[in-house]
Chain A
Amino acid sequence: MKKTYVIFKLIALAGMILIGCSEDENGPATDNFDRKAMLENWADHIIVPGYESYVSSLGELNAKAETFTTTPTLENLTSLKGAWLNSNLAWQKVAMFEIGKAEAITLINFTNIYPTNTEDLLKTIESGDYDLTSISKQDEQGFPAIEYLIYGVRDTDQAIVDLYAQEMVNHPYKIFLLDLTNRLETLAQSVLDDWKNGYRDTFVNNSGSEATSSVNKLVNDYIFYYEKHLRAGKIGIPAGVFTGTVAPEKVEGYYSGKSKELFMAGLDAMSAFFNGKSPDSNLAVEGEGLKTYLDFVQGINEGEDIGELINAQFDLAKTKAEALNDDFAQQIESDNMLMLEAYDELQKNVINMKVDMLQALNIRVDYVDADGD
């Protein structure tokens, strides 16, 4: 009896395998969507202008850091903080484009790793001997490290001003702060230069549909950023989604209390990109982008309206997030349930994009979750 049953089960399974084979034989659905026009829109109206704004905001950050370190006053500290926030908001609009030069130099890892390792950072400052290009120093530089040095290194703004106003030879805090703001600008400038000196055309002309094409790569980068940085880094990890233990100290903008503003900028940029628009654009109409691509494919396949589904989900996530405290660390401590609810709405679009959208556009996921040990 038992054996007969096993054989039956095996035959049934073998049957399923055969069915599986025939499904696989369908092959890629070819479409004649104008991928090149979409790439041009992305490059010329979203990515390059985004980096231009970002680089220019970093110029401002550098100037304010110079002013503050030369003349440490409360007023100059306030305007340095303003420049830090502006440039960080500009960064949120380009962070997802980890392709080309940004990918080669791993821009994101040298720009926005939080929480910053304050213990190591203070040791580094005091030693005065450091190499910011070292991968081991990625959690001691970028926006979070600068934030710590201008918001968190002392308890009050006056104490921070006093720290920078100390009479010292080769003031290590001043030097380090300027090294950090300079490095951000240098890195961003190198990425912008690369786009302007040839990479834009390389990117646009690589308009096929193979795994290494610009569309396939950037769409993967986009979803990876959404999943790992927007969903997990900014919300899921500090809210304890993956460990069951909340970690309010892991929010972005921990020392400035600006976590929500930074998150919303990122979320807006991601939904704007989906609709083929720059987040700074005043245009009401969408450009060529993932939304129009999905509409095009849907016209062929008569499937469900995935583009509308994704936009509706972006709206739901925005609504949930808008209700959160400006400072996510406070939100986690007062009522983490609201953070988890926001996470859940974000998670739904991981499924919509990573599964449904990629299937409709016939793009394969090119990354796997890290091993985790």
Chain B
Amino acid sequence: MNITTIKNWAVALFSITILTSCGDDDPGIVINEPATYVFERNGESTVSFSGQTTRTLMAEEILSAFKDPTKSQQTIDAMFAHTEGSADFTNADLNVSDKSVRSKTAASSDLFSSNTALSAEIKSDFDSWIAEQVDTVFPNWELEASVGVAGQIQEAGGGSIRYVNGKGLELNQAFNKGLIGALFVDQIVNNYVSTSVLDAGNNVPENNAGVLSEGKSYTNMEHKWDEAYGYAYAKAADETDPNATLGENDSFLYKYIGRVEGDEDFTGIADEIYNAFKLGRAAIVAGDYEVRDVQAEIIREKISTVIAVRAVYYLQQGKAGLEQETVDYASVFHSLSEGLGFVYGLQFTRQPNSESPYFTNAEVNAMMDDLMTRNGFWDVSTTTLDDISNDIAAKFSFTVEEAGS
């Protein structure tokens, strides 16, 4: 048990005290927090996040397409920017959907509603990863990769084959981990738990009066919060109790909440996130928006921490690999590619009680440049990996050592 954790508990105890006094000020409000994420009205569930499930499934199929060298750029682009009725996916349910992954990439209300230029720039980063995979990696699928030459490279011990560009970057990892930030995290912390979305239009008076969305069992505000929840837990075996099968069946945020939970320095974070979602939703039902917003800040801080911890973890894994006498480059490239994707995701995090991410787009781009300069991962220095790790950890309440093991 370290001091940071104790400090966190002290903060938690303190916040609870505040919550109690809030309640005392509003003796009329009673929050009924359920044991699991089950909310009903007249015996009917009021929880719905089918759009999040759909986008998660679409994103999974795009990841598979990155590993299929017979796919054309046009095909993968169409999967990314799906339009209703196009036969882009193997899952027919996805084809009839009017949802798309690309339209919600870097598309949060708080960060991008008045910064569409940056949103477009970020979307084009994802487009360029698809294009480079098809243009440079697919043609070299059977070639051994080397400095400046895309191709395949195998991990030690007859291990996994990794497909990299000329700088040792696995573009599918950049896309996958980048999307965790640009879609999943951004939509949660900068959109659906934000007052700009929750309290939009007549949401507050309607929620207070129990006015439901047309033809639905939920109020608008309830639904917005559930959409945030869906970006974290849509693929859980039991959507009402996701931590029972934490991280399974998913390649995105849910999986990595599980990974961070598995590091004993961060054990408990999965419950903190889940409980904040659950209490926040119960507070909406009760009309207690102060409690709701406190939970939103917890969600922001903890989910941002997940991204930062994984960024540092993978950079440190890559560093450890480079320090071996016999360097397993495929394994190092894999770690650093995941690390780069999580670093990219830092621009979509959210410092609690602020309007700002932990790192700006410009700061993230500078870190990406440091990683990709000259021959990229073929000659990145361990000093660079440490510098970036230290810069990230310094903004959070964990150390490089805690995240790196």
Q: Is the CB of B155 within 8 A of A135?
A: yes
Given contacts A2-B33, A135-B330, contact A10 B16 (CB under 8 A): yes
Selected from B1, B23, B155, the residue in CB contact (under 8 A) with A21 is B1
For residue A20, CB closer than 8 A to chain B, the reply is yes
- Find the A residue at minimum CB distance from B20: A3
Selected from A3, A109, A115, A117, the residue in CB contact (under 8 A) with B16 is A3
Compute how far the CA of A108 lies from the CA of B156 in the bound complex, rounded to whole angstroms. Answer: 10
Q: How far does the Cβ of B258 sit from chain A's closest Cβ, in whole Å? A: 11
Selected from A17, A103, A106, A113, the residue in CB contact (under 8 A) with B1 is A17
Cβ contacts B127-160/A at 8 Å (1 or 0 each): 0000000000000000010000000011111100
- Find the A residue at minimum CB distance from B154: A136
For residue B217, CB closer than 8 A to chain A, the reply is no
Q: How far does the Cβ of B252 sit from chain A's closest Cβ, in whole Å? A: 12
For residue A337, CB closer than 8 A to chain B, the reply is no
Selected from A17, A139, A368, A373, the residue in CB contact (under 8 A) with B158 is A139
Compute how far the CA of A13 lies from the CA of B271 in the bound complex, rounded to whole angstroms. Answer: 14
Contacting residues, chain A, for B251 (C-beta < 8 A): 373
Contacting residues, chain B, for A139 (C-beta < 8 A): 154, 157-158
Choose the segment among B6-14, B36-44, B105-113 that binds chain A (4+ C-beta atoms closer than 8 Å).
Answer: B6-14
Q: Is the CB of B325 within 8 A of A13?
A: no
Q: Is the CB of B405 within 8 A of A368?
A: yes
Contacting residues, chain A, for B1 (C-beta < 8 A): 17, 20-21, 24
Selected from A14, A103, A115, A135, the residue in CB contact (under 8 A) with B156 is A135
**Chain B contact patch, size range:** 20 to 34
Compute how far the CA of A373 lies from the CA of B16 in the bound complex, rounded to whole angstroms. Answer: 38
Given contacts A17-B1, A17-B9, A135-B328, contact A2 B31 (CB under 8 A): yes
For residue B5, CB closer than 8 A to chain A, the reply is yes
Contacting residues, chain B, for A175 (C-beta < 8 A): none
Selected from B144, B153, B156, the residue in CB contact (under 8 A) with A106 is B156
- Find the B residue at minimum CB distance from A133: B326
Contacting residues, chain B, for A11 (C-beta < 8 A): 13
Q: Which of B1-59 contact A (CB under 8 A)?
A: 1, 5-6, 9, 12-13, 16-17, 19-20, 23, 31-33
Q: How far does the Cβ of B271 sit from chain A's closest Cβ, in whole Å? A: 11
Contacting residues, chain A, for B9 (C-beta < 8 A): 10, 13-14, 17
For residue A104, CB closer than 8 A to chain B, the reply is yes
Q: Is the CB of B157 within 8 A of A136?
A: no
For residue A284, CB closer than 8 A to chain B, the reply is no
Selected from B17, B23, B156, the residue in CB contact (under 8 A) with A109 is B156
Compute how far the CA of A6 lies from the CA of B19 in the bound complex, rounded to whole angstroms. Answer: 11
Q: Which of A113-137 contact B (CB under 8 A)?
A: 113-117, 134-136
Compute how far the CA of A53 lies from the CA of B363 in the bound complex, rounded to whole angstroms. Answer: 58
Q: How far does the Cβ of B401 sit from chain A's closest Cβ, in whole Å? A: 14
Q: Would you mind naming 19 contact pairs between A and B with Cβ atoms under 8 Å apart?
A: A2-B33, A3-B20, A7-B13, A7-B17, A7-B20, A10-B9, A14-B13, A17-B6, A21-B1, A21-B6, A104-B325, A105-B325, A106-B328, A113-B157, A135-B329, A136-B330, A138-B157, A139-B158, A371-B259
